């Protein structure tokens, strides 16, 4: 499985882990990862620790997640590799997401 989810016991933080390539082939799985969860999150974390590649469709999927989460929910992108971090920086995603 390339997309894994983890919800904290209190239901406040949803973590979505992407393994391997994050591209259009992950669209349904990624979208399902946050749409299947009950609402009420304060925070959604996208963990890119094991992500080897990120393309423009993945950037679009992150934007869709942000729209779905709403303004009251913090969306954070964590652990991007140096190559993935460059793509996020070039796309000015640090203005839209907390990246750590």
Residue 25: give its domain's CATH number.
3.30.750.24
In a domain, 83, yes or no: yes
- Number of structural domains (the chain) is 1
Tell me how far apart the alpha carbons of residues 17 and 86 are, in angstroms, rounded to a whole number: 19
pLDDT at 1 over 60: no
- How large is the average pLDDT for residues 81-95? 94
Strand order in the sheet with 3-7: 3-7, 13-18, 43-47, 74-78, 98-99
In a domain, 7, yes or no: no
- How large is the average pLDDT for residues 77-89? 95
pLDDT at 21 over 70: yes
- How large is the average pLDDT for residues 84-98? 94
In a domain, 64, yes or no: yes
In a domain, 29, yes or no: yes
In a domain, 3, yes or no: no
DSSP 87: H
Domain span at 79? 13-97
In a domain, 76, yes or no: yes
Residue-averaged pLDDT of the chain: 93
What is residue 11's predicted lDDT score, i.e. its pLDDT? 86
Tell me how far apart the alpha carbons of residues 100 and 20 are, in angstroms, rounded to a whole number: 19
pLDDT at 13 over 60: yes
């Amino acid at each position: 499985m390339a997309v894994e989810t983890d919800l904290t016991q209190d239901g406040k933080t949803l973590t979505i882990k992407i393994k391997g390539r994050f591209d259009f082939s992950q669209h349904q799985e990624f979208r399902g990862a946050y749409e299947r969860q009950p609402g009420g999150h304060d925070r959604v974390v996208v963990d890119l620790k094991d992500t080897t590649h990120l393309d423009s469709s993945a950037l679009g999927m992150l934007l869709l997640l942000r729209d779905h989460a709403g303004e009251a929910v913090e969306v954070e992108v964590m652990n991007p590799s140096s190559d993935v971090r460059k793509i996020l920086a070039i796309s000015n995603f640090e203005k839209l997401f907390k990246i750590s």
